[in-house]
Each structure stands twice: as C-alpha cells, then as structure tokens.
Chain A
Amino acid sequence: AQKVTQAQTEISVVEKEDVTLDCVYETRDTTYYLFWYKQPPSGELVFLIRRNSFDEQNEISGRYSWNFQKSTSSFNFTITASQVVDSAVYFCALRTYSGAGSYQLTFGKGTKLSVIP
C-alpha cells in the first residue's frame, strides 16, 4: 500500500527564515512519481513540482528547492528566505501506476506553514 507521511502538522517561522517541509513515502513500486502542491488560504490547489523515481537530482526554482533521496524515501521541500505569501498548507503526494489505465494518487495530510512578518 502507498503511504505519504508529513509529520509536521504546523510550522511557524519568522519572515526571511529558511524552512524545510518533510515528506516521507512508502511504496513497493519501482516506478513512481512524487509531487508537491500548495494550498493558500484562498483554497485553491497549486501544482509546484513533479519528480519521478529515476531522477534523484535536486531541483531549485527561485526560493524553492527539493531534495529527493530514495535511500531514505524522502522528498523534502525547502523555502529559502520565507515570505508572508508562502503561508499556506503544503501537500506532498505519491502517484503510482496500477496497470490498465489505473492510477493511484495518495496525498499526505499536509503541513500548514505560517510565515510571521
């Protein structure tokens, strides 16, 4: 069974601090995809990044960076120099292929990030 654990339920940081959101996943599949989504207070879900199981390169996009480590089944998300606009709930998700056009997407329970000015 697939499982995604985001152990940090809520995090508060002061603006300009760096913050890392943890994501640990479980799957028996050798091919899978990992995602991060952002849900700001307005409620919509915004796609941030996708990573497949064969690509362990870290990725940086502006103030955002992602550290994927298969050895520890982790896909952590770091925000550098946090801003108030980063305040949101962040979800990590795992997608696996079940065959015959069938897919499963499992979300973690989310981490609520509050950036205090």
Chain B
Amino acid sequence: DAGITQSPRHKVTETGTPVTLRCHQTENHRYMYWYRQDPGHGLRLIHYSYGVKDTDKGEVSDGYSVSRSKTEDFLLTLESATSSQTSVYFCAISERGEGDEQYFGPGTRLTVT
C-alpha cells in the first residue's frame, strides 16, 4: 500500500469555523490531489499540486485553499466551513502525473453543523 495518511480521520465542526485537513505521504511523489466524495456526485477534484508551492484549482475549488511547503505534506483549508462542505475528503498521490495511476488515502469524514 502507498504510504498516505490523512488527519484527522473524522471531524465535526461548526459553520463558520476554519478547518485544515492534512495529507502526508512517504512515497516522495510529485503530484498530490484533494477530492471530495458526495452521494450522487462521485469524486470531484478540489485542488491539486504538481510540486512544492505549485498548486492549481480543480472542478470545485470555491471555498477551499491549499498549501504545499514540503513534498510530503499537502494541506486543505476551509477558511469558513459551511454545511455544503460536509463530505468525505480524499487525498491522492501520483508519481509522474500524466497517465499515472493515483493512490488514495483513507479519507477524512468532515461534518459541518
């Protein structure tokens, strides 16, 4: 199994509070991704990174920001959580990007009340 961990694994927070999710990898892969999974929508890309300090937006980036100061860590921040951001968040990594399969972390279940 690819060495990907996510923390926390579960979180309940209140509307309007900031939340940061962490993805940590031990594979030294260049590319990292954040997805959210919602019933009826499958997985949707939020943001991704193609190197340290290099990030770009995905399909559903509004309300989210990311940072990558080290190869191994990719942080997803909800500046002011809303109930619509209740979801399961998955981090993924890939080695070379184009054509490479992505390996996923275990997921973080976030509930915004």
Instruction: Please name all residues of chain A whose beta carbon is closer than 8 Å to the beta carbon of B48 when the two chains form the complex.
Output: 103
Which of A33, A37, A43 is within 8 Å of B99, CB to CB? A33
Which of B42, B43, B101, B107 is within 8 Å of A47, CB to CB? B101
Instruction: Please name all residues of chain A whose beta carbon is closer than 8 Å to the beta carbon of B107 when the two chains form the complex.
Output: 43-44
Of the listed residues B35, B48, B98, the one surrounded by the most CB atoms of chain A closer than 10 A to its CB is B98
- The majority secondary structure among interface residues of chain B is strand
Indicate whether B74 reaches chain A with its CB closer than 8 angstroms. Answer: no
Indicate whether B27 reaches chain A with its CB closer than 8 angstroms. Answer: no
Instruction: Please name all residues of chain B whose beta carbon is closer than 8 Å to the beta carbon of A105 when the two chains form the complex.
Output: 33, 45, 102
Which of A37, A97, A107 is within 8 Å of B98, CB to CB? A97
State the Cβ distance, B39 to closest chain A Cβ, in Å.
Answer: 9
In the assembled complex, the Cα of A40 lies from the Cα of B107 at a distance in Å of 13
Number of interface residues of A (CB under 8 A): 23
Q: Let me know if A104 and B45 touch, CB within 8 A.
A: yes
In the assembled complex, the Cα of A44 lies from the Cα of B43 at a distance in Å of 12
Interface size class of B (residues with CB under 8 A): 20 to 34
Contact bitstring B82-96, A, C-beta under 8 A = 1, else 0: 000000101010000
Output the nearest chain B residue to A108 by Cβ-Cβ distance: B42
Indicate whether B103 reaches chain A with its CB closer than 8 angstroms. Answer: yes
Given A91-B42, A110-B42, does the pair A103, B98 have CB atoms closer than 8 Å?
A: yes
Indicate whether A52 reaches chain B with its CB closer than 8 angstroms. Answer: yes
In the assembled complex, the Cα of A109 lies from the Cα of B37 at a distance in Å of 10
Instruction: Please name all residues of chain A whose beta carbon is closer than 8 Å to the beta carbon of B100 when the two chains form the complex.
Output: 50
Q: Let me know if A107 and B99 touch, CB within 8 A.
A: no
Instruction: Please name all residues of chain B whose beta carbon is closer than 8 Å to the beta carbon of A108 when the two chains form the complex.
Output: 42
Indicate whether B16 reaches chain A with its CB closer than 8 angstroms. Answer: no
The 18 sampled A-B contact pairs (Cβ below 8 Å) are A35-B102, A44-B104, A44-B107, A45-B43, A91-B42, A91-B43, A93-B43, A101-B51, A101-B97, A102-B50, A103-B31, A104-B45, A104-B59, A105-B45, A107-B35, A107-B43, A109-B41, A110-B42
| Known A44-B107, A105-B33, A107-B42; 13 more pairs at CB < 8 Å | A33-B98, A35-B102, A43-B107, A47-B101, A47-B102, A50-B99, A52-B99, A93-B43, A101-B97, A103-B50, A107-B35, A107-B43, A107-B44
